[in-house]
Structure 1
Amino acid sequence: MQGAHAAVIPDHINIGLIGCGIGKSRTPAMHMAEAKAQGFLCDYNLLDMDDESRADLSLSDMLDTVEKDGYAGVNVTYPYKMKVISLLDDLSDNARMVGAVNTVVFKDGKRIGHNTDLWGFAESFRRGLIGAKWDDTLLIGAGGAGVAVAHALVQCGVKQLSIHDMDLERADNLVDHLKKTWPDMAVRAVGDLGQVFASHRPDGVVNATPMGMAKLPGSALPTDYLNEKMWVADIVYFPLETQLLKDARACGCRTLPGSGMAVFQAVRAFELFTGLPADPNRMKETFDTFDL
């Protein structure tokens, strides 16, 4: 890339992922392979807060440590996407709108929080469910990832959005938040999934809870509620074949795995960390090597 505004390719950067139960994350490989393809070295470290060596560390301690160690930034995942906000100096417009952060960039002595989940899910949703009907959608999970997914669904054209969370107050808060941001959107909180499916069946369902992760096995939706006319999306990607997606395929549903969101959020995060655009196809190829 030539020109006065060409990005400077670094020699070496350190970045990481802070979360719990993240040992099987594919994010490090995607970032490191993309950096290598672009001619520099990236060390991407898993900073699993479930590790015994970090038992006495708080999220604040971990951020202080990596910033002091010269990291370019960190990704942040479950259960810290909302908790991290109070530890930051500023937020991007996306992060402020969503109210959750999954990418923190250290720059000029400041910590800037970004949300790449929104764009990541929207890109995956548009590309992975071409031709599907999604006017009426059920979102399960109103936490940090759920908020980003909710905004993405609205931006993708969902007309009726029902939101379920085990914590009904959290679902109500997300509904209020969406109505302020998107006043023309038809959105509601639902406490009883059985009543939802008894009255009408949504076009599709998105699981935005951690249910289905290796450390939280199971499914966020009973199999009885599925049928072949629905599509089912999951944002969990380790394991890639969650119990929900396995059940959905068995019922004949069209499915969307969490891999797309994982790849596209990483594409955007890579650019934030390095100032360099990433190749989505190349990052997906790296992601897919885990399935070989």
Structure 2
Amino acid sequence: MNERSYLVGLVAPGTDFSVSSALQQREADRHELRYLCRHLGAARDFGTLLDECRVFGFSGLGMAASAGRPTDALDGLSRAAARTGTVTTVVYDTDGRATGHDAGMSAFTDAFARNLPDAPLSRVVQVGATGAGVSAAHALAERGVEHLTLVDPDPQRATALAEAVNRHAPGRPATGRGTEDLDRHLGEADGLVDALPGAAGSDRLVRMLAAGLRGDLWVCDLGHRPGDTSLLRAARALGCPVLRSGSLLVHAAAHTFHLVTGRPAHTSHMLGDFADLTAAPAAHS
């Protein structure tokens, strides 16, 4: 494809990337680029998928946070992807080489700076040590969190992520824990990051988090869903500063667009697009 025309595959089950696709296509219109997004469904064998998309001339791929995806199938990794082991964006160069990027780490950093610029970072609790939580934990450590408590129903998983974060962070700020002392950790925290997967088994933990909210606690949800979660609604009712998942979705789409095209994304315009795309039908009447 020429430099003003891009074909991007979105790898996710169902229609998870419908909003992200629309955001990227609207941004491409502002740059007067032809930018086609094609939904490829849930990932098949990753190496086979990369080869097929290379043959069909794809410029890049966007996918859900993928810690554990076989990165050896790629020709290279960005610094962030090598650090986190997470690939959310693949970019093909003119020779067909596929490089994996972790756009989620940059998206979290930028969304946090935009929405919670003055948030205290002495003690932060993150619940969930998989998926987007991997990138968030590394981003929080890079931002300067003094004490990062990673809580997961699987304590070994939390400890493994803490060790991975500490290999790159000065002061080794992260510790991994199980859920048994979650109430105490929340009581000592300045901020809470909900990185739990959207599964029924997480309902009990979400209720525990809601019960532990305080008005002076900032709250971030990593669900990348357009609407507010029950936890964010409870946080807003208490007056907690919040980072909505929609902001993360917008910044992730902006980073994917930039990686694929090399053009700077106008994030402020994309936030307006997001509000328009997710507004109730009555708002357009």
TM over 0.5: yes
Structure 2: how far apart are the matches of 1:189 and 1:229? 24
Q: Which residue of 2 aligns with 1:210?
A: 197
Aligned letter for 2:7?
N
Q: Which residue of 2 aligns with 1:26?
A: 19
Would you say 1:124 and 2:124 are equivalent positions? no
Structure 1: how far apart are the matches of 2:110 and 2:139? 9
Residue correspondences, number: 275
Task: Tell me the alpha carbon deviations over residues 111-161 of structure 1, each in whole angstroms, 9 at most, x when there is no partner.
Answer: 100111111101111221133323110111212321211111122221110
Distance 1:246 1:40, change over 3 A: same
Does the CA contact (< 8 Å) of 2:61 and 2:89 recur in 1?
A: yes
Q: Which residue of 1 aligns with 2:165?
A: 178
Q: Which residue of 2 aligns with 1:67?
A: 54
Structure 1: how far apart are the matches of 2:212 and 2:201? 21
Q: Structure 1 stretches of 5 or more lacking a match?
A: 1-7
Aligned letter for 1:30?
L
Q: Which residue of 2 aligns with 1:254?
A: 241
Q: Structure 2 stretches of 5 or more lacking a match?
A: 280-285
- Larger helix proportion, structure 1 or 2? 2
The secondary structure found in structure 2 opposite 1:210 is coil
Structure 1: how far apart are the matches of 2:130 and 2:22? 26
Task: Tell me the alpha carbon deviations over residues 195-224 of structure 1, each in whole angstroms, 9 at most, x when there is no partner.
Answer: 232364311111123327xx9985753222
Structure 2: how far apart are the matches of 1:75 and 1:276? 17
Does the CA contact (< 8 Å) of 1:120 and 1:265 recur in 2?
A: yes
Distance 1:288 1:90, change over 3 A: same
Tell me by how many angstroms 1:226 deviates. Answer: 1.5
Q: 1:89 aligns with which of 67, 75, 86?
A: 75
Would you say 1:198 and 2:184 are equivalent positions? yes
Structure 1: how far apart are the matches of 2:52 and 2:126? 36
Q: 2:4 aligns with which of 4, 8, 11?
A: 11
The secondary structure found in structure 2 opposite 1:123 is helix
Tell me by how many angstroms 1:24 deviates. Answer: 5.5
Q: Which residue of 2 aligns with 1:147?
A: 134
Q: Which residue of 2 aligns with 1:101?
A: 87
Task: Provide TM-score, normalisation by structure 1.
Answer: 0.85
Structure 2: how far apart are the matches of 1:126 and 1:45? 31
Task: Provide TM-score, normalisation by structure 2.
Answer: 0.87
Aligned letter for 1:178?
V
Cα root mean square deviation, aligned:
2.4
Does the CA contact (< 8 Å) of 1:220 and 1:244 recur in 2?
A: no
Task: Tell me the alpha carbon deviations over residues 172-192 of structure 1, each in whole angstroms, 9 at most, x when there is no partner.
Answer: 111111221114132211102
Structure 2: how far apart are the matches of 1:90 and 1:163? 29
Would you say 1:242 and 2:235 are equivalent positions? no
Distance 1:248 1:132, change over 3 A: same
Q: Which residue of 1 aligns with 2:35?
A: 42
Aligned letter for 1:114?
H
Task: Tell me the alpha carbon deviations over residues 36-82 of structure 1, each in whole angstroms, 9 at most, x when there is no partner.
Answer: 11112111122222xxxx8xx4344333332221110101215x343
- Between 1:95-104 and 1:238-247, the stretch displaced more is 238-247
